[in-house]
Structure 1
C-alpha cells in the first residue's frame, strides 16, 4: 500500500487528489498508488512539506477558519465570474466605445492574462510566501477591475481585462495552496471540491449578472466595480487573518529567484500574446497581406520554436524548474487528455458568448433577457458536470464519457450551424442543451484522470498540464470565433446590403448591436436581411464547435479502455 498522498504545489493547480480504492466502515480511504509514465523524468529532491494539521491543530480558531474559507471561496467565485461576465454586456460596451473591431478582446483579454501567467505563478507559489502572493494577486485583480470599470477608452478596458486575468489566476492558485496547507488528507477533497464548484458557479452566473448590470441604471461598468465592493468586505480577512506560509524556508529569496524559469516566463507569455494579436487584428483592422499581420505571424512562429527548444533542452533553466512538463508529451494518454480537454472547453465557452448575441440580434432582446435564455444551456451543463463527478470515480471507466460527449457536441454544434433567424426558440434551446450537457460531462473529468495516470510526485504537474489545456482552449476558441464573426460577418452584411448605400463603417457598426444606423433607420426588409447575415456569421462560429466534437470523437476512440481508481478534483 502506498504512503499517504502529500501536497504538491509545483504547478498551477496544487490540489491534492486521493485515489480511492475502497472505503472502510470508518469511512477512511486506502490510497492506491497510480502508475507512472513510461519515461518519467527524475525530479530534483524537494524539501519535506510541513506536517499536515488535524482540524484541532489548524492554526485558526473555528470562526477564523470559516472567515478564511469565505475569503478564498469568494476569490474563486469572482475569478470564475469574470471569465464570462462580459458575454452579455458586449453590445452595451460597444455602444459606449463604438469599436466593433475590438469586440473579441472583451472575452479574450481575461483568459489571455491567465494563460500567459498561470504556469509562472504556479512555480512562484511553490517557493515564495503564499499569503503575500495571494494578497498581491487580489490587488492585481482589483486594480484591473477598477481600470475596466472606469476605462475611458476601449484600449484601457482591454488592458484592464488582461491585468485582471493575471491577478485572477494568482487568486485561484493562492486559494488552492491555502486550503492544501491547512487541511488533512481526509477533509481536503471536500474543501477543494467546493472551491472548484464555486469557480464553476461564477462562470455560469457571469452572463446573468453582467446582463443585469448592463440593463440597469448602474450600467455595464458595475459588472467590474462589484469586484471592488466584495473585496472591500473580505479584504481585511485576507490581510489580517490568513497566516503567512513559506513553502521553501530552506532557500533565501535570491536562490528562489534563480529557480524561476524567467526565459520560459517571457516566451510563454509572448506565444499567447502573438497568437491573439495576429488573429484579432488580422482581417479586421489589418488586411491579411498587411506587413503588420505578416510580421506578427512570423513572431508567433518564431516564439513557438524558441519556447519549444528552450523547454526541451532545457536552456537557462533545469528540467525540474522549467515551466512546461514536456515529458508528458511522451505519454499517449496525457496527450489525448490534453486534446479532449481543450476540445470540451472550447465547445463550452463559444456558446456562452454567442448564444446571447444571437437572441439580441434576432429578437432584439435586452442583455438580461438574452442571459436568461442561456439558462437551459447552463442547467444542463451543471447537470452533466455533477453526473460525471458522481459516476466516473465510482465506476472508473473514462473513455466512454468522451465518446458520449463528442456525440452530443457534434450533433448540437451541427444543428446550431444550420440554424437561422427563423429557427424557433424551442429548437435553439434544444440544440444548445445538447452542447451544454455534452461539454458538462467531461469538462472537469481530466482533473481526476490525469493524476491517476502519473506518479504521486507528478500530480501537481499533471493538474497544471490539464489546466493549461483548459484555459488555453478558451483563449484559442474565442480568438478564432471572434475572427470568424468579424471577417465573415462583414462579408455577409456587405453582400446582404449591397446597393443600399451603407458605408463600410456603418456595416461594421451593425455588428455591434441594434443601435447602429442600419437597424435604426433602414426599412424592415433591410433589417431582416442584415439580421440573417449576422446570424449566418454567428452560425459559422459553430464550425469550431463541430471540429471540437469531431476531434474529441477520434481521440476518445484512441484512449485506453481501462478502469482507474480516482477521485473528483477541482479545475479552473
Structure 2
C-alpha cells in the first residue's frame, strides 16, 4: 500500500495533465497570440510521452524503478513550471514536449512498480485503483481546468503540478527505496531508441494531421506514412540483431504477450474513439452545449472505472483473465452495435445505458491486458513489457481518435465546412455520419473480441 500510494499520485499527475489543458486552449491562444498551431499544445506532449515510455521501461529493468521514476517526476515538475511561465506559443510547445518526456516515465514506472511488489493474480485488484485514479482525472480534469482559467489564469493549470509533483516525489522516494534492484551491466540500444522515437513520431503525426491539417491522400501524409513504415522495418531489423534490444523479440515471440498488446491497442482505440465521438454526437445531433456534453460523458467514464475494479476482483478470485476480457469485449461490442442501430432514435436514458455497457466492457480490458502481458513476460523484462504495452495502448488511442475523426470527415466534413455550423447540416446526414463512426468502433471492439477468443488462457502467477 505504501508503494501504491506513491505511484497513484504519479498516475494522477500524468492523467490530469492530459485533460486539464483542454478547456484552457482558447485562453492560451488569446494570451499568447497563437491560434495557428494550437493542436501542438496537446500533440507535443503526446509525442514525447509515448516515445519515451519503452525507454523508461527498459532502463528501469537495468537500474531499478526508483532510479528512473524520481528524475521523471523532477523533469515533469520543472517543465510544468516552465510551461506556466511561457511567453509565446513556441516556448509553450517546447516546454510541453519536455513535460511529456517526464510524463511518460510517470505512467510506465507506476505500472512497473506495482508489478514489482504484487503477484499477477493479485495485481488486477490494485490496477483497479490506478484505473480509478485515471477515471477521476478524466472527469475532474476538464472541470478543474475550466475553474482555474475562469477564476485565476491558464498558467495555474501547469503550476498546480508543482505541489502535487513534490508530494509524489517524497512519497515515491520513500515507497520505492526498499525495492530490490538487480543491476546488471548491459549495452543500451541507442540506435533502437532513435528508430523507435522516429517511427512513433511519424505515426502519431500521420494520425494527428491526416484528414485535418492535410488530406489523407496528400503528399505530406503519404510521405510521413512511408517514413513511419521504413523506420518500423529498420527498427525490427535493429532489434533482431541487438545484443540488448529495447523491445526484445522474445517478448513478441510469446503468443500471450502479443495477444495482450493487441487487445490493449484495440480496446484503447475503441475507448478513445468513443470519447471523441460521444461529446460531438451530443452537441451536433442533440444540440447541447460543450459543458453539458462533457457532463453526459460521465456515465461512460465512471462505468469504465467500475469495469476495471470488477476485472481486478475476478482475477483475484479465478486466477485467470481470458474470459474476463472476453466478457468485457462482448459487452462493449454489443453496446457499440446497439448504439449504431439506435443512434438516430434513442433517448437520453437509452444512450446512457448503452454508454454504461460500452464503458464497463472496455474498462475490464485496460488493467486486464496489462496484467496478462506482465504475467507472460519474464521477470527480467517486466519494465520493458510494461513500457511496450503502454506504448501500443497509447498508439491505439491515437488510432481510435484518428479513425473516428476520419469517418466523420468523410461523412459530413464537407457539409459542415460549407454550412459553417452544425445547424446547417441535414439531420439525416448527421445521423448517418455518427452511425458510421459508432460502426467503426464496433468493428474495432469486435476485432479485440476475436483476439481474446484465440488467446491462450495462461494462469496468473501467485508469486513474483
Name which of 450, 459, 463 aligns with 1:564: 459
> Does the aligned pair in 1 maintain the 2:62–2:182 contact within 8 Å?
yes
Q: Does 1:206 align with 2:129?
A: no
Structure 2 residue matching 1:286: 3-state secondary structure: coil
CA distance in 1, matches of 2:80, 2:380: 37
Q: Does 1:127 align with 2:62?
A: yes
Q: Indicate the residue corresponding to 1:15 in structure 2.
A: none
> Does the aligned pair in 2 maintain the 1:447–1:568 contact within 8 Å?
no
Gaps of 5+ in 2: none
Structure 2 residue matching 1:324: 3-state secondary structure: coil
Q: Deviations over 1:122-168 (max 9, x none)?
A: 22223347555333212322244345555566665555444333211
Structure 2 residue matching 1:339: 3-state secondary structure: helix
Q: Does 1:436 align with 2:359?
A: yes
Gaps of 5+ in 1: 1-64, 498-506, 508-517, 519-525
CA distance in 1, matches of 2:29, 2:408: 15
> Does the aligned pair in 1 maintain the 2:83–2:158 contact within 8 Å?
yes
- Per the TM alignment, residue 260 of structure 1 is displaced from its structure 2 partner at its CA by 1.1
- Per the TM alignment, residue 439 of structure 1 is displaced from its structure 2 partner at its CA by 0.4
- Per the TM alignment, residue 383 of structure 1 is displaced from its structure 2 partner at its CA by 1.8
Q: Indicate the residue corresponding to 1:500 in structure 2.
A: none
Q: Indicate the residue corresponding to 1:49 in structure 2.
A: none
> Does the aligned pair in 2 maintain the 1:81–1:205 contact within 8 Å?
yes
Q: Indicate the residue corresponding to 2:449 in structure 1.
A: 553
Structure 1 residue matching 2:356: 3-state secondary structure: helix
Which structure 2 residues correspond to residues 91-490 of structure 1 after superposition, within 5 A? 109-128=44-63, 131=66, 133-146=68-81, 148-149=83-84, 158-175=93-110, 194=126, 197-198=129-130, 200-214=132-146, 216-218=150-152, 221-232=155-166, 247=181, 251=185, 259-312=187-240, 314=241, 317-318=242-243, 321-361=244-284, 362-367=286-291, 369-417=292-340, 423-485=346-408, 488-490=411-413
CA distance in 2, matches of 1:471, 1:270: 16
> Does the aligned pair in 1 maintain the 2:84–2:155 contact within 8 Å?
yes
> Does the aligned pair in 2 maintain the 1:208–1:372 contact within 8 Å?
no
Which deviates the most, 100-109 or 373-382?
Answer: 100-109
CA distance in 2, matches of 1:542, 1:90: 27
CA distance in 1, matches of 2:82, 2:395: 24
CA distance in 1, matches of 2:345, 2:127: 41
Q: Deviations over 1:421-456 (max 9, x none)?
A: 774222221221121011012221123333444555
Greater share of residues in helix: 2
Structure 2 residue matching 1:427: 3-state secondary structure: helix
Gap change, CA 1:274 and 1:454, over 3 Å in 2: closer
CA distance in 1, matches of 2:100, 2:380: 29
Structure 2 residue matching 1:127: 3-state secondary structure: helix
CA distance in 1, matches of 2:176, 2:319: 37
CA distance in 2, matches of 1:229, 1:322: 37
CA distance in 2, matches of 1:233, 1:548: 39
> Does the aligned pair in 2 maintain the 1:410–1:549 contact within 8 Å?
yes
CA distance in 1, matches of 2:411, 2:37: 15
> Does the aligned pair in 2 maintain the 1:142–1:228 contact within 8 Å?
yes
CA distance in 1, matches of 2:34, 2:414: 18
Q: What is the aligned residue count?
A: 461
> Does the aligned pair in 2 maintain the 1:133–1:174 contact within 8 Å?
yes
CA distance in 2, matches of 1:404, 1:190: 20
Structure 2 residue matching 1:126: 3-state secondary structure: helix
Which deviates the most, 432-441 or 133-142?
Answer: 133-142
Gap change, CA 1:291 and 1:455, over 3 Å in 2: closer
| Normalised TM-score (structure 2) | 0.81
Q: Over aligned residue pairs, what C-alpha RMSD do you find?
A: 4.1
Structure 1 residue matching 2:246: 3-state secondary structure: coil
> Does the aligned pair in 1 maintain the 2:61–2:380 contact within 8 Å?
no
CA distance in 2, matches of 1:535, 1:218: 40
| Normalised TM-score (structure 1) | 0.68
- Per the TM alignment, residue 545 of structure 1 is displaced from its structure 2 partner at its CA by 1.6
CA distance in 2, matches of 1:69, 1:398: 22
> Does the aligned pair in 2 maintain the 1:88–1:356 contact within 8 Å?
no
Gap change, CA 1:238 and 1:407, over 3 Å in 2: closer
- Per the TM alignment, residue 340 of structure 1 is displaced from its structure 2 partner at its CA by 1.5
- Per the TM alignment, residue 268 of structure 1 is displaced from its structure 2 partner at its CA by 0.7
CA distance in 2, matches of 1:129, 1:391: 30
